[in-house]
Amino acid sequence: MLEYSAQLDLAFHALADGTRRAILERLSRGPASVSELAKPFETSLAAIHQHVQVLEASGLIATEKRGRTRECRISAETIMRVEHWLNERRQLWEQRFDRLGKLLENNEFQNMAGAGGTADGGEHR
C-alpha cells in the first residue's frame, strides 16, 4: 500500500485538472463508460482514457471491464481522505484563529483604559 503522503500527491494531482474534475462531476451522478465520459470534450478518446487512468491510479475512481466497454464509477474512500486532510489543517488553523481572537478581545479590554494598540496580536513564533 502506498504511503499516505504519496496517496495525497496522486489524489491532489488528479484533482488539479479541469477535465478530470469534470469527469468526476459526471461520475458523481452515476457510472459511465470511457466513451460516454469523452463525449462532452473535444479531445481524443485516447486522452480521456489517460485521464481515466490517472483518476484510477489516484483511487478517486474505480473501473471494471465489461465486454468491450469499461465502466467507471466514483470511489468514496480517497475523496474522503482528501477532505479529511483539508479539514484537519483548517481546524488547526481555526483553533489558532479563535485563540487569537480571544487574545485580541482581551487586548481591547486592556486598551479601553489606554491608547490605541497594534493591529497585530504579536504572538508570532
Q: Footprint of DNA on this chain (CB under 7 A)?
A: 13, 16-17, 19, 33-36, 42-47, 49-52, 54, 65-70
Q: How far apart are CA 83 and CA 77, in angstroms?
A: 10
Q: Which is nearer to a second copy, 52 or 74 (CB)?
A: 74
Q: Find the shortest distance in angstroms from Cβ 5 to a second copy.
A: 5
The answer to whether the CB of 61 falls within 8 A of the CB of 24 is: yes
Q: Which does 115 bind (CB under 5 to 8 A by kind): DNA, a second copy, none?
A: none
Please, what's the b/e burial string for 66-82 (b: 16 or more CB within 10 A of its CB; e: otherwise)? Answer: eeeebebebbeebbebb
Figure out which of the listed residues 13, 101, 106, 117 binds a second copy, where binding follows CB under 8 A. 13
CA–CA distances in Å: residue 11 to residues 1, 17, 51, 68: 15, 11, 12, 28
| Angle at CA of residue 106, ends 100 and 108, nearest 5° | 105
The answer to whether the CB of 107 falls within 8 A of the CB of 117 is: yes
Figure out which of the listed residues 8, 54, 62, 104 binds a second copy, where binding follows CB under 8 A. 8
Q: Which of residues 45-84 bind a second copy (CB under 8 A)?
A: 71, 74, 76, 79-80, 82-83
Residues that bind a second copy (CB under 8 A): 5, 8-9, 12-13, 15-18, 21, 24-25, 27-32, 36, 71, 74, 76, 79-80, 82-83, 85-87, 89-90, 92-94, 96-97, 123-125
